[in-house]
Structure 1
Amino acid sequence: MSAPRTVVGVSGGVDSSVAAWLLARSGESIAGLFMQNWDDDGSGECRAEEDRRDAVAVCGRLGIPFHFRDFSKQYWAGVFEHFLAEYAAGRTPNPDVLCNREVKFKHFLDAARELGAERIATGHYAQVVESGGRWRLLRGADRDKDQSYFLHQLGQAQLAATVFPIGHLPKAQVRQMAREAGLANHAKKDSTGICFIGERDFREFLGRYLPAQPGEIRDPDGVRIGMHPGVFYFTLGQREGLNIGGVRGRQAAPWYVVGKDVAGNVLYVDQDRDSPWLQSHALRSEAMHWVEGAPPATTFDCTAQVRYRQQEEPCHVRVEEDGSVSVRFVRAQRAATPGQSLVLYDGVACLGGAVIDSTDAPSPGR
């Protein structure tokens, strides 16, 4: 059997299945590869076996070879240990970004090359184009499904060896194609939750690795409001899970997390969704990763996202000598959170991104 030119990452979901179908229909020499990146922990919440069966069925339907690789050890070392360390430090990490960099576009790409392939394909909603000898990462055409935010750590070598067959399509059309192609998973629900770990009670899951340390919930003036199960279970701007009942002398309105004192094990809350404690006009990043290898200039204007599914916001960027960036926004940003990703854009082109290190939002209790 000759080696495939392209290996498709088949996850068992509709997006990767249609990506494989489009390539097969075009006459491309392809094979499918299913990645297991999380060991079954006995909770019954990991869908890996179900997803693997769906991936096998899709490859059978398309008449292409199916391959399997277990990257769970690499996922633990390259993604999950960092995820736990960030939460323990009181930050809010984004494992999907690291998962793409460390697993899908590293170990998966290596595995594809071991099979003799020249490139890989995935079902991400993003696009890659070559311009002037450089590879550019563009937003997916379906803005609601665009995943370039999670792909901002990719570089020239990875983009040169990657194709996103559905990046130019809207999700509704992808599902329609899956139905027309007779793919059994055409109506399968999109996966959510932590990358590769699936949908589950997040607090219960995290508590297996970071034991609960109950402490006080206080308002920004330091007045005790209630008790929390552990500050690292919460993120800035969060409303759910606080379990704050009626507080004497306070209005019957929702409470929002506005600050965390990890050393003191105190969680700060306020009843204003747009509380001044959540507002920042400027932030500093960790070392930036630039998709094309270098920034467009030492200072420039562009747009940015500080969280997924956020509309891009105009900002001014200054590249610092240590490789980080200082960013000032035209409008105040709500709940820009250290540990999350800052991603910069020039129109639909993703320039790159980095982890948010700090913001100029005020700190309650200090």
Structure 2
Amino acid sequence: MRVLAAMSGGVDSAVAAARLVAAGHDVTGVHLALSRTPLAYREGSRGCCSLEDSFDARRAADRIGIPFYVWDFSQRFAAEVIHPFVDEYRAGRTPNPCLRCNERIKFAAVLERGLDLGYDAVATGHYARLERTDGVTRMRRAVDPGKDQSYVLGVLNQDQLSHCLFPLGDSLKTEVRAEAADLGLSVADKPDSYDICFIPDGDTPGWLSDQLGEETGQFRDESGAVVGHHDGYHHFTIGQRRGLHLGTPAPDGKPRYVLDIQPVSNTVVVGPSEDLEVHRLEAIRPVWCSGTPDDAWRGKAQVRAHGTPVDARVELVDGGVRIDLDAALSGVAPGQAAVLYDDNLVVGSATICGTDRAGLDVAAALRGSEKGAA
């Protein structure tokens, strides 16, 4: 099989490529250049797309003995990942750019070009397992629960999964590092990447301020009373506690959390932690990994990459999904992805557009905001 191995410059993608070579596949390594100014992704970046990473990927490919190329996807990455990321924050939502990159770049743009060039599949170092039976490709959680990445792959459809290979899904991370050391790969002890690649210093609020500017807004409690001021709603996400710097303490002295974000009025609503509890999720744009499920079924819902899955009843409603949770989740924000499971099988995903937080009276806070503006 002719395989295009996406090599980020980390240990996982390097070992994935090496395993494919050992299995007898015809492998070509490719590193994705996602910035027009890669030097801006300085040495020491905690993402996966620095110039240093491209050098690490090339050295790994040379050690494995496979051809290696760098593909410039910076223009499409900006259009498909960075600009939507900014737009989502502008709208007061909380996006996950890694899911978007997997959906639109690694397993769409790269796969399209690879198929056009005669490759049969794209391989990555993601930790997830694939099963192919009766012409259907099914994705399951990885063996290593601490490294399972099925959540960020839950946006892939059946056609994309049918052309994917994840050689590390049955392995523990410790085994992968040991294998890299045995192969003489210089990345064997390289730390994992964990920041947004286009915000290499990890300062997301600062980066967003450069994109969206700053404008003084108000913190309000659920009654509409002003309890502080901020430099822009895009600095905050639902569930956030730190960095609020409120001028007025809560009557009971307990910490306040971000409960809601209102972009039009530049208002951030704050309140007690119990008002963050969510029992129902409404979601749109579902993607079904292995075919559309029944109109109503029971499974598990996960709303963060390493979040705890919660038992839930899932119902397909008007082209979207309604998810009734058996146990409450906290701090869920519109824009996050809900990935749905049947045991360890990934059924699909959808984008959260609404939640039911009975304790939150946004209308009261907005009325207070309107009075303040008047």
Q: Structure 2 length normalisation: TM-score?
A: 0.90
Letter in 1 for 2:340: L
Question: Are residues 278 and 82 of structure 1, via their aligned partners in 2, closer, same or farther at CA, if it must alter by over 3 Å?
Answer: same
Letter in 2 for 1:316: R
Letter in 2 for 1:126: A
Question: Which residues of structure 2 form unaligned runs of 5+?
Answer: 364-374
Q: Deviations over 1:166-208 (max 9, x none)?
A: 1111112111111121110111111112255434311111112
Q: Deviations over 1:253-281 (max 9, x none)?
A: 543211222222111223x4x32x21111
Aligned partner of 2:281 in structure 1 is: 283
Aligned partner of 1:318 in structure 2 is: 315
Deviation at 1:38, TM superposition (A): 2.5
Aligned partner of 2:371 in structure 1 is: none
Deviation at 1:228, TM superposition (A): 1.4
2:39 and 2:50 in contact (8 A); partners too? no
Q: Could you tell me which of 325, 333, 336 is aligned with 1:337? A: 333
Matched ranges for 1:49-128 at <5 A: 49-128=51-130
Aligned partner of 2:259 in structure 1 is: 258
Taking every aligned residue pair, what percent have the same amino acid on both sides? 36
Cα RMSD for the two superposed structures: 1.9
Q: Could you tell me which of 140, 143, 157 is aligned with 2:142? A: 140
Whether 1:173 aligns to 2:170 is no
> How far, CA to CA, are the matches of 1:174 and 1:41 in structure 2?
28
Question: Are residues 44 and 76 of structure 1, via their aligned partners in 2, closer, same or farther at CA, if it must alter by over 3 Å?
Answer: closer
Deviation at 1:299, TM superposition (A): 0.8
Aligned partner of 1:38 in structure 2 is: 35
Q: Could you tell me which of 21, 24, 27 is aligned with 2:24? A: 27
Deviation at 1:155, TM superposition (A): 1.6
1:192 and 1:199 in contact (8 A); partners too? no
Q: What SS does the corresponding residue of 2:130 show, helix, strand or coil?
A: strand
Letter in 2 for 1:350: V
Matched ranges for 1:298-313 at <5 A: 298-313=295-310
Q: What SS does the corresponding residue of 1:268 show, helix, strand or coil?
A: strand
Letter in 1 for 2:286: M
Letter in 1 for 2:278: S
Deviation at 1:134, TM superposition (A): 1.1
Deviation at 1:26, TM superposition (A): 2.3
> How far, CA to CA, are the matches of 2:295 and 2:186 in structure 1?
51
> How far, CA to CA, are the matches of 1:248 and 1:354 in structure 2?
36
> How far, CA to CA, are the matches of 1:205 and 1:97 in structure 2?
20
Q: Deviations over 1:200-255 (max 9, x none)?
A: 3111111121111221122223332222121122111112322347848663x543
Aligned partner of 2:366 in structure 1 is: none
1:38 and 1:197 in contact (8 A); partners too? no
> How far, CA to CA, are the matches of 1:69 and 1:324 in structure 2?
36
1:285 and 1:324 in contact (8 A); partners too? yes
Deviation at 1:44, TM superposition (A): 4.8
Deviation at 1:164, TM superposition (A): 0.3
Whether 1:5 aligns to 2:5 is no
> How far, CA to CA, are the matches of 2:150 and 2:157 in structure 1?
13
Deviation at 1:311, TM superposition (A): 1.3
Aligned partner of 1:348 in structure 2 is: 344
Deviation at 1:301, TM superposition (A): 0.6
2:208 and 2:234 in contact (8 A); partners too? no
Whether 1:209 aligns to 2:211 is yes
Q: What SS does the corresponding residue of 1:75 show, helix, strand or coil?
A: helix
> How far, CA to CA, are the matches of 2:362 and 2:23 in structure 1?
61
2:199 and 2:207 in contact (8 A); partners too? no
2:227 and 2:248 in contact (8 A); partners too? no
2:158 and 2:288 in contact (8 A); partners too? no
Deviation at 1:94, TM superposition (A): 1.1
- Compare 123-132 and 255-264 and name the one that shifted more: 255-264
Deviation at 1:85, TM superposition (A): 1.2
> How far, CA to CA, are the matches of 1:42 and 1:116 in structure 2?
32
Letter in 2 for 1:149: Y
Deviation at 1:151, TM superposition (A): 1.0
Aligned partner of 2:291 in structure 1 is: 293
Question: Which residues of structure 1 form unaligned runs of 5+?
Answer: none
Question: Are residues 39 and 240 of structure 1, via their aligned partners in 2, closer, same or farther at CA, if it must alter by over 3 Å?
Answer: farther
2:41 and 2:198 in contact (8 A); partners too? no
1:343 and 1:350 in contact (8 A); partners too? yes
Letter in 1 for 2:320: S
> How far, CA to CA, are the matches of 1:259 and 1:110 in structure 2?
39
> How far, CA to CA, are the matches of 1:339 and 1:129 in structure 2?
30
> How far, CA to CA, are the matches of 1:57 and 1:348 in structure 2?
36
Whether 1:359 aligns to 2:360 is no
